[in-house]
Amino acid sequence: MSTEYIRIEKSQPLSGIAQLAGAKNAVLVIMASLLLTEGKNKLTNVPFSEDIRHMIRLLEMLGAVVEVDKDMGTLVIDTTLISSFRVPVEIMKRMRASILVMGSLLARFGKAEVALPGGCSIGERPIDYHLKAFSKMGATFSTSNEYIHCNADKLRPITHILDYPSVGATENIIMGTALLKGTTRIINASVEPEVLDLIEVLNKMGAHIRVLAPATIEIEGVSSLEPIDHQIMYDRLEAGSLLLAAAITGGELSLPDAPARSMTVFLSLLEEMGHSITLGDNNTGVHIQATQEPRAVSFKTMPYPGFPTDLQAPMMAALCLASGKSVIHETVFENRLVHVRELQKMGAQISIEGQTATIVGVDELYGAAVIASDIRAGAALVLAGLAAHGHTTMTGVHHLKRGYDAIVPKLASLGGRISTQFEE
């Protein structure tokens, strides 16, 4: 079997205009939410990264009929014939987001059979918040042969107080209660933009869901939900990764679709590094003119509106070449500094203590053979490769492809010397 790898050479400053893809984390959960309807739903602006393909297979296994138009970025998903509430273990192991169908299945069938999900190896990532929330509402759980059997015949609406604003747990509770008579509240809920896109979709279906500042979500159950058409929001994480590709190569890039209003903390750090950032009208669209002398900055990853953990690794790559000392504290996942070892192979000066990485900027990075261990680590290594002398080869490409749709040709079209290769 041949091994896929990405070959990257030191590139000229990336420049031009790039079109963004739809947000992977919004599409995945919105696809799961369609199980609450019976009929034909249409999603546009859909990226076809690997995780989306898995979710298509998952829905098909449950009985959905899915029509894919890759050129148009469209999915038509007919949920009329959903007949199964069991998600096969093989699918669950491939992608953590498979757990997101649990809430919808419980709402539709009063039961669900799922397994412990897989996905990126960036920490423990248990699903205890999800299970605890449903058991507080009256669901029961038993396990056999890797499956968790959930029974939720008699759910009752309650007020949930989350210990941590988990994105997935918030989404599952919302989907699990949209059809539950009475008022469910989630206090200390996740209010990531992708959660808000899910809420917009559910309200279009006919749900009654409100977000109360700062982080409470109130769900007034309705008796049925109708199929919808929806355009998926643009991907702020792809936007951030592309802006960093321009930043690390000293380039200039426009992203007319970038959802700038949900990128405030990230964009202000780019400015603190010395890059010039201009926003489009109505906070949509971002233009970066990169500085040739970036400065170090320090930050902590946090739930939204804080700095997103999914941009921590790409930002670290850029900071490897910034003058001075940057300190990054990863607070969301406990094993999300694996890319440090790979960046060190390229000449980066980084030390780790617990969940904190200290980066002392160097003048040059050097191409090396590196391995991507998760989606965002892959993005970080690609960025470092664009700025490193010589050439870099990155394996573990499947991780990158889980979260980014056609990122290699996109970077190449902006001037990146990057290509996908296969070795026998």
Considering 31, 101, 115, 120, which one is annotated as catalytic? 120
Q: If DSSP codes are grouped into helix, strand and coil, which group holds residue 68?
A: strand
Among residues 124 and 423, whose Cβ is nearest to ligand UD1?
A: 124
Q: How many residues bind ligand UD1 (CB under 6 A)?
A: 22
Our finding on whether 312 is near ligand UD1 (CB under 6 A) is no
Among 412, 408, 358, 335, residue whose Cα is nearest residue 378: 408
Among 41, 5, 2, residue whose Cα is nearest residue 398: 5
Among 309, 312, 373, 392, binds ligand UD1 (CB under 6 A): 309
CB of 128 to ligand UD1, least distance (A): 5
CB of 59 to ligand UD1, least distance (A): 15
How many other C-beta atoms can be found within 10 angstroms of the C-beta atom of residue 186?
25
Per-residue tokens: 381: 């290594």
Our finding on whether 128 is near ligand UD1 (CB under 6 A) is yes
Among 264, 348, 278, 262, residue whose Cα is nearest residue 313: 348
Q: What would the DSSP string read from start to end of 122-154? A: SS----HHHHHHHHHTT-EEEEETTEEEEE-TT
Our finding on whether 354 is near ligand UD1 (CB under 6 A) is no
Find the part of the chain contacting ligand UD1 (CB under 6 A) among 35-43, 140-148, 161-169, 200-208: 161-169
Contact assessment for residue 233 and residue 47, using Cβ atoms and an 8 Å cutoff: no
Among 169, 209, 239, 255, binds ligand UD1 (CB under 6 A): 169
Our finding on whether 166 is near ligand UD1 (CB under 6 A) is yes
Our finding on whether 130 is near ligand UD1 (CB under 6 A) is yes
120 has catalytic annotation: yes
CB of 332 to ligand UD1, least distance (A): 5
Which residues 9-28 are close enough to bind ligand UD1 by CB under 6 A? 25, 28
CB of 324 to ligand UD1, least distance (A): 27
Which residues 50-79 are close enough to bind ligand UD1 by CB under 6 A? none
Among 13, 22, 103, 168, binds ligand UD1 (CB under 6 A): 168
CB of 367 to ligand UD1, least distance (A): 28
Our finding on whether 96 is near ligand UD1 (CB under 6 A) is yes
Euclidean distance between CA atoms 326 and 250, whole angstroms: 19
Euclidean distance between CA atoms 216 and 171, whole angstroms: 13
395 exposure class (CB count in 10 Å sphere: 0-12, 13-18, 19+): middle
Residue nearest to ligand UD1 (CB): 168
Q: What would the DSSP string read from start to end of 173-240? A: HHHHHTTSSSEEEEET----HHHHHHHHHHHHHT-EEEEETTTEEEEE--S-----EEEPPB-HHHHH
Binding residues for ligand UD1, rule: CB under 6 A, are 25, 28, 96-97, 123-130, 164, 166-169, 194, 309-310, 332-333
Catalytically active residues are: 120
